[in-house]
């Protein structure tokens, strides 16, 4: 039986009177690639921000390897967050810094990384994402796909066991999307990183995910193995996303 790396239980988030998440419970097992899919505005990005504790849930729990995030001390919480790399929608790169400086950024706060160690680690990360030759470039000089690769390298800097990606391909053309998905699969297989992909694109889920959770209006509509959920969808929203409205 695979080991559970992350679980949410009845996760709720409201902003004032707006209930964005209304009790989302999902499980993610180690080394899977899972996706959270749903229409625009259904609460996907909010869900991802809650997982990383950038947003405090109003109620419900997030369990990391069986431990409730809310119960962690400050130091434990920082360690837990280092274990979850985040790739935000729109990349969030520092535009005045080079590719190498962007990737090095999370290492500034790490113990044991002197100048030489940072340089070595940055070279390693740029090789993983195939950008060895762009270390000195600035984000404005890069294509969308390349910027996304820098964001992925930066998210992997602290050797997280989990990578959370918010709409990693929604701004990319089909060919670049394909190579991005190949990269994520590679990272999953070679580095053993568990990946959670937030997307509204069915093709992304079908291409690389083993499991899918479908969210609609802040609620979990259904979840399971991709072949089961897409093969015989039970919820109206899944049928809608599949274009199989009956």
| Residues of this chain that bind ligand ADP (CB under 6 A) | 15, 18, 20, 38, 40-46
Q: Which is nearer to ligand ADP, 47 or 230 (by Cβ)?
A: 47
> Residue 181 — φ and ψ, nearest 5°?
-65, -35
Q: Which does 90 bind (CB under 5 to 8 A by kind): Mg ion, ligand ADP, none?
A: none
Q: How far is the CB of 111 from Mg ion (least distance, A)?
A: 34
Q: How far is the CB of 44 from Mg ion (least distance, A)?
A: 5
- Rounded-to-integer distance, Cα 224 and Cα 211, Å: 5
Q: Which does 232 bind (CB under 5 to 8 A by kind): ligand ADP, Mg ion, none?
A: none
Q: Which does 20 bind (CB under 5 to 8 A by kind): ligand ADP, Mg ion, none?
A: ligand ADP
What is the CA 9 to chain-centroid distance, rounded? 19
Residue in the structure block whose two tokens are 């959370």: 164
Nearest to 131 by CA among 159, 109, 100: 100
Strands 33-37 and 194-199: parallel
Q: Which is nearer to Mg ion, 13 or 44 (by Cβ)?
A: 44
From 8, 31, 45, 177, residue interacting with Mg ion (rule: CB under 5 A): 45
Q: Which does 42 bind (CB under 5 to 8 A by kind): Mg ion, ligand ADP, none?
A: ligand ADP
Contact pattern from residue 153 through residue 192 relative to Mg ion, giving x for each residue in contact according to CB under 5 A and a dash for the rest:
----------------------------------------
Q: Which is nearer to ligand ADP, 122 or 221 (by Cβ)?
A: 221
- Rounded-to-integer distance, Cα 173 and Cα 181, Å: 12
Q: Which does 158 bind (CB under 5 to 8 A by kind): Mg ion, ligand ADP, none?
A: none
Q: Which is nearer to ligand ADP, 42 or 102 (by Cβ)?
A: 42
- Give the interface segment with Mg ion, choosing from 22-30, 45-53, 55-63, 73-81 (CB under 5 A): 45-53
- Rounded-to-integer distance, Cα 148 and Cα 164, Å: 13
Q: How far is the CB of 35 from ligand ADP (least distance, A)?
A: 13
Q: Which does 145 bind (CB under 5 to 8 A by kind): Mg ion, ligand ADP, none?
A: none
Q: How far is the CB of 71 from ligand ADP (least distance, A)?
A: 25
Binding site for Mg ion (CB under 5 A): 44-45
């Amino acid at each position: 039986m695979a080991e559970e790396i992350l679980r949410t239980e009845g996760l709720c988030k409201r902003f004032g009177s707006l209930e964005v998440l209304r009790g989302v419970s999902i499980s993610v097992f180690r080394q899977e690639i899972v996706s959270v899919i749903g229409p625009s505005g259904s609460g996907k990005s909010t869900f991802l921000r809650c997982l990383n504790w950038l947003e405090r849930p109003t109620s419900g729990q997030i369990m990391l390897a069986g431990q409730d995030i809310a119960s962690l001390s400050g130091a434990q919480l920082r360690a837990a967050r280092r274990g979850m790399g985040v790739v935000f929608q729109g990349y969030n790169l520092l535009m005045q810094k080079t590719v190498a400086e962007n990737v090095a950024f999370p290492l500034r706060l790490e113990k044991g990384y002197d100048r030489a160690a940072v340089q070595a680690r940055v070279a390693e990360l740029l090789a993983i994402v195939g950008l060895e030759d762009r270390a000195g470039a600035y984000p404005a000089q890069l294509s969308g796909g390349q910027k996304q690769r820098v964001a992925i390298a930066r998210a992997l800097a602290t050797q997280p066991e989990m990578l959370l990606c918010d709409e990693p391909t929604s701004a990319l053309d089909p060919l670049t999307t394909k190579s991005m998905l190949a990269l994520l699969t590679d990272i999953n297989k070679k580095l053993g990183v568990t990946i959670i992909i937030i997307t509204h694109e069915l093709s992304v889920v079908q291409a690389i995910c083993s499991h899918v959770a479908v969210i609609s209006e802040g609620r979990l509509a259904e979840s399971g193995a991709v072949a089961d959920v897409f093969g015989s969808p039970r919820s109206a929203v899944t049928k809608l996303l599949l274009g199989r409205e009956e």
